[in-house]
């Protein structure tokens, strides 16, 4: 298609490159189902008096849900989602305050079982 003098194709920018711009770096986030499952475990532990506060960080390379016993302390656990590890060890992991990876896997429900302690009756 030809354009008159001084006219350019609307799909072209004045520099001659395509109009597509590079997208800003995306943040990794927890989806609704993942967040609901994490908050279910968190709610049970708050109700039992174990945990008191949390924070969520959405970073460029991973999403982190940090769990605190008290707000002024370091997190006692971190639940991380790192998509770069999805094909290897699994995108989800639970990490203790000392940095020990308590469990890692491909399914969030299985990874969270390490935190979801059930009460049992001892006879």
Instruction: Count the alpha carbons within 13 Å of 88 in the hemisphere toward its beta carbon.
Output: 5
What's the pLDDT at 120? 47
For the residues 92-117, what does the mean pLDDT come to? 90
- Could you tell me the residue ranges of all domains in the chain? 32-112
**Average pLDDT over the chain, rounded to whole?**
80
User: How big is the chain by its Cα radius of gyration, in Å?
Assistant: 23
Kindly state the tokens that stand for 35: 């967040």
Q: Tens digit of pLDDT for each residue in 16-48?
A: 455 555 555 688 888 999 999 999 999 999 998
Can you give the pLDDT at residue 7? 52
What tokens were used for 121? Answer: 């009756």
Q: How far apart are CA 24 and CA 41, in angstroms?
A: 33
**DSSP label of 83:** G
What confidence score (pLDDT) does residue 77 get? 93
Residue 12 is given by DSSP the state: B
pLDDT digits (tens, 9 = 90+) for 86-97: 888 889 999 999
């Amino acid at each position: 298609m030809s354009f008159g003098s001084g006219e350019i194709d609307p799909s072209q920018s004045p520099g001659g490159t395509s109009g597509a711009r590079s997208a800003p770096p995306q943040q990794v986030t927890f989806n609704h189902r993942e967040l609901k499952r994490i908050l279910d475990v968190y709610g049970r532990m708050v109700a039992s008096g174990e945990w008191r506060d949390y924070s969520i960080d959405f970073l460029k390379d991973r999403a982190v849900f940090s769990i605190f016993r008290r707000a002024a302390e370091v997190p006692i656990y971190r639940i991380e989602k790192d998509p770069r590890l999805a094909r290897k060890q699994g995108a989800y992991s639970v990490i203790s305050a000392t940095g020990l990876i308590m469990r890692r896997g491909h399914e969030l429900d299985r990874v969270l079982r390490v935190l979801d302690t059930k009460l049992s009756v001892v006879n």
